[in-house]
Structure 1
Amino acid sequence: MKLLTLRLGSGDNSVTKAVRLDGGTLTEIDGFADVGELLRAADWETTAKAANGATHAFDGADLAAVVPSPGKIICVGHNYRNHIEEMGREFPEHPTLFAKYAESLIGPNDDLTLPQESHKVDWEAELAVVIGRKGRRISEADASDHIAGYAVLNDVSMRDYQFRTLQWLQGKTWENSTPFGPALVTKDEFSAGPLMTSEIDGEIQQQTPTGDVVFTPEFLVSYISTIITLNPGDVIATGTPGGVGHAQEPKRYLQEGELLVTSIEGLGQLKNRVVKEA
């Protein structure tokens, strides 16, 4: 299944609805305002499959971040081999973890705003894991049972803030900076391996199979759940491959007017126009 969060209306009258995508049609899953709320229902998969609510065309739909308000967004640094090498780092013995907050998320087709304070805004295509079942100290063998599915995320990074200190948080969770979606594709229809790509105005920047990682999604679910309980709707961003702008010579960062496209085969794509903050 492909599950999305649809925006309806505008301004003070806007609402969101959890929907299922079938071909070119979005079907509302009655009683659930977004995919995160749906995942908190014990029988979410059965409910989503049986949904027969109002329908909408997928083409031109206004989509929110697929899980708009996850309880946790845990990100992994230095996980793709070619990115570790381009940044001049050693292969890690343990995952490098940091956090984002829900305020950083935007929809898959929303404008990506360059903040006034940062002049080194970089792209980082990522495979996102979405949790579907609560767990603590989950074994790696059981981790798949706790994964609802996967989505595309871009961990857009403000490098000038990220590298002010050894801790990365301040460069990673700027408000309205992280496109996420378009859909949660359930684990029966996707597993890590297909190609992930980021492009700027049609020029490929990153292109690496999502399986070329040091730590697999299942390992990350197990490792992170050792530290903290994972709940339905929580998100794990599993790291970015080589090709980021900060590692290029000369260094390259996002500029006003550019179109950033992030895609993973089988999951869809994010298309975000870069604009300046008003």
Structure 2
Amino acid sequence: MKLVRRNTGSGPQLAVVDGSADLVDLPGEHDLVPLLDGRLQDAADAALRTRATVTAEADADLLAPLAPPTFRDFSTFPEHTAGIVKLFNPDATINPVFWEIPTFYFSNPHAIVGPTADVPVPPNCVDFDFELEVAAVVGRAGRDLSVEDAADHLAGYVVLNDFSARDVQFHEMSLLLGPAKGKDTATALGQYFVTADELAPRRSGSSFDLRMEVRVNGELIGSDRLDNMAWTFPALAAYASRGTEIRPGDLLGSGTCQGGCLAELWGRHGRDHHAPLGPGDVVTTSVELLGGTTNRVVAGAAAVPIEPFARAAEYRAQ
């Protein structure tokens, strides 16, 4: 089953995609997350029986299919990681910790945008980048889950493009904290939420046998397959639930696939390999069965100056 959220004059409206690719509204349902408690299938079946409101997908203003309460973004593609580390040291190799834990950072759920939304360049950013990923959506709450149990807590999947201000990100991470403002402006979600059962026939190794592609202004920049992940989505959910609780709607990003961002390509081929994103560029992602995103980059706001407390001069003088 595939679901979307479309924009209407009265706000977001949840709809299921029928066999003809038309969008059939789920009457009275505006948000995917409350239905993930087990009511989603019944609500979609009822909508398809009555077909009270049907909209052609081409005529719909599609939003992100859900508004996640939290967003954890992992790192699971070793080839991507191997390229990124060379951005700082050409002789660097993957940190062994990559194979010990599926590490993640918390990103901003309020920065989620839709599949065709304009994306502004973040303040103070020169090296603007994209990141092609797939995210799992938690469907059931759980705590301290095993990997085996965690599989039943995943409701479905969505394409994710994690736009990144690389210069801002690397500057702030020099303080040995995770990325913050470098990931804070926009994360685009694909048009479809696809339930887990739809992908079951494409199960392959660690993940699913699905081709992933990203283009800038129509030019293919990178491609990979989702089953090149080194950690499974249930492993991500199990780790996310360790010592805490995951809840319906929580988003678990796969991390960037091989060739799925400019920073990796800069690490492998040099900074001149491809220019950073700028106003007017159009970034298109696609993943088999899951859909994708097409976002135009636009000029953003200037940074508002922020000065440290006056005592900072005393510390600088020491």
Calculate the TM-score normalised by the size of structure 2: 0.80
Contact 1:18–1:38 (CA under 8 A) maintained in structure 2: no
Letter in 2 for 1:269: G
Structure 1: distance between partners of 2:34 and 2:296: 28
Aligned match of 2:306: none
Moved more, 267-276 or 249-258: 249-258
Contact 2:70–2:251 (CA under 8 A) maintained in structure 1: yes
Letter in 1 for 2:11: V
Structural mapping, 1:1-278, within 5 Å: 1-9=1-9, 14-22=10-18, 23-39=20-36, 41-51=37-47, 52=50, 53-68=52-67, 70-77=68-75, 79-88=76-85, 89-91=94-96, 92=98, 93-164=100-171, 165=173, 166-175=176-185, 177-190=186-199, 191=203, 192-243=208-259, 244-247=261-264, 248=266, 249-250=270-271, 252-277=275-300
After superposition, the Cα gap between the structure-2 partners of 1:194 and 1:123, relative to the gap in structure 1 and judged at 3 Å, is: same
Structure 2: distance between partners of 1:28 and 1:46: 13
Instruction: State the shift of 1:116 in Å.
Output: 3.4
Instruction: State the shift of 1:157 in Å.
Output: 0.8
Structure 2 SS opposite 1:273: strand
Structure 2: distance between partners of 1:49 and 1:172: 41
Contact 1:114–1:256 (CA under 8 A) maintained in structure 2: yes
Moved more, 187-196 or 265-274: 187-196
Letter in 1 for 2:14: A
Letter in 2 for 1:17: Q
- Which deviations, in whole Å up to 9, do the C-alpha atoms of 1:41-62 show, x marking residues without a partner? 4322222222244221111311
Structure 2 residue ranges without an equivalent (≥5): 86-93, 302-318
Larger Rg: 2
Instruction: State the shift of 1:17 in Å.
Output: 0.9
After superposition, the Cα gap between the structure-2 partners of 1:148 and 1:184, relative to the gap in structure 1 and judged at 3 Å, is: same
Instruction: State the shift of 1:227 in Å.
Output: 3.3
Contact 2:189–2:292 (CA under 8 A) maintained in structure 1: no
Contact 2:129–2:163 (CA under 8 A) maintained in structure 1: yes
Instruction: State the shift of 1:158 in Å.
Output: 0.8
- Which deviations, in whole Å up to 9, do the C-alpha atoms of 1:181-207 show, x marking residues without a partner? 211111111152211111101212221
Letter in 2 for 1:123: F
Letter in 2 for 1:250: R
Letter in 2 for 1:245: L
Structure 2: distance between partners of 1:254 and 1:73: 24
After superposition, the Cα gap between the structure-2 partners of 1:233 and 1:72, relative to the gap in structure 1 and judged at 3 Å, is: same
Contact 1:131–1:147 (CA under 8 A) maintained in structure 2: yes
Calculate the TM-score normalised by the size of structure 1: 0.91
Structure 1: distance between partners of 2:7 and 2:34: 15
Q: Tell me the matched-pair count.
A: 270
Structure 1 residue ranges without an equivalent (≥5): none
- Which deviations, in whole Å up to 9, do the C-alpha atoms of 1:240-273 show, x marking residues without a partner? 0232212322253112111100111110110111
Aligned match of 2:88: none
Contact 1:159–1:171 (CA under 8 A) maintained in structure 2: no
Q: Runs of 4+ in structure 1 displaced over 6 angstroms?
A: none
Structure 2: distance between partners of 1:186 and 1:242: 25
Identity %: 32
